[in-house]
Structure 1
Amino acid sequence: MNLESPKVSIDKSSQDVFDFLSDVKNFEQLMPENTSKFEVLGEDTFVFALKGMPEIVLKKKEAVAPNKIVLGAAGGKIDFSLTGHITSVSETKSDVQLIFDGEFNAMMAMMIKGPISKFIETLATNIPANV
């Protein structure tokens, strides 16, 4: 299953956006209002939970400055990645798009597609106000 957030424009350089997304502590500022838990577990790992959903542990798996950050599931029953693609538009402007990619059976995919789509859209739309 592959889901894409809307592309958002940010009045910051791609390096500034990359630096912000590279620090996992900053993801707390991007989380939706229905977040019931957010805790940094290490330099590159955090756990979060949305109301009514199980806890999810994310770990920074790859960082390619200043264009790409990949977070992936750290343990748990499902394997997926959340990739932030950062595109430089000018020295002071960049675009960001989040891509969720995971392998799920048809039933699971049907159940989580809506909530995951909304989640990555919220993360993306919260980036410009917080970088």
Structure 2
Amino acid sequence: MHIETPKKTVNQDNKTVFEFLSDVKNFKVLMPDNIDKFEVLDDQTFKFALKGMPEIILRLKEKTPNSKVVLGAASDKLPFTLTAVIAEPAANTSEVGLSFEGEFNAMMAMMIKKPISNFMQTLTDNLEKIGQ
């Protein structure tokens, strides 16, 4: 299953955005209002839960300086990645696109597509909070 959000323009340079997204504790700022739990487990891992949803543990999997940050599920039960691609079209302005990639059976994909799409859209909307 592949889900992408429209790119979001952020009034920060790509280095600032990359450093923000590379620090897992900063994801608390991007989370939806209905977050039930957010806990940093170590410098590369955090877990969170939204009301009515199971806990999800995300781990920093890959970083390409100033252009890409990849988070992945810490468990192999539901393998997926959340990727942020960062571009700098102009000085002190970045464009960030988020994509979700996961392998799920058809029934699971049907059940989780809308909640994941909404979650990713909220993350994208909250990118404007970087540097505030």
Instruction: Tell me the TM-score normalised to structure 1 length.
Output: 0.97
> What RMSD over aligned residues (CA atoms) do the two structures have, in Å?
0.8
Q: Which residue of structure 2 lines up, in the alignment, with residue 48 of structure 1? A: 48
The residue identity in structure 2 corresponding to 1:54 is P
3-state SS of the aligned residue for 1:114? helix
Deviation at 1:130, TM superposition (A): 2.9
Q: Which runs of 5+ in 1 are unaligned?
A: none
Q: Which residue of structure 1 lines up, in the alignment, with residue 6 of structure 2? A: 6
Moved over 4 A (4+): none
Q: Give me the whole-angstrom Cα distance separating, in 1, the residues matched to 2:16 and 2:129.
A: 13
Q: Give me the whole-angstrom Cα distance separating, in 1, the residues matched to 2:31 and 2:110.
A: 23
Q: How does 1:51-66 map to 2 (within 5 A)?
A: 51-66=51-66
1:97 equivalent in alignment to 2:97: yes
Instruction: Tell me the TM-score normalised to structure 2 length.
Output: 0.97
Q: Aligned pair count? A: 131
Q: Give me the whole-angstrom Cα distance separating, in 2, the residues matched to 1:107 and 1:127.
A: 31
3-state SS of the aligned residue for 1:12? coil
3-state SS of the aligned residue for 1:29? helix
Q: Which runs of 5+ in 2 are unaligned?
A: none
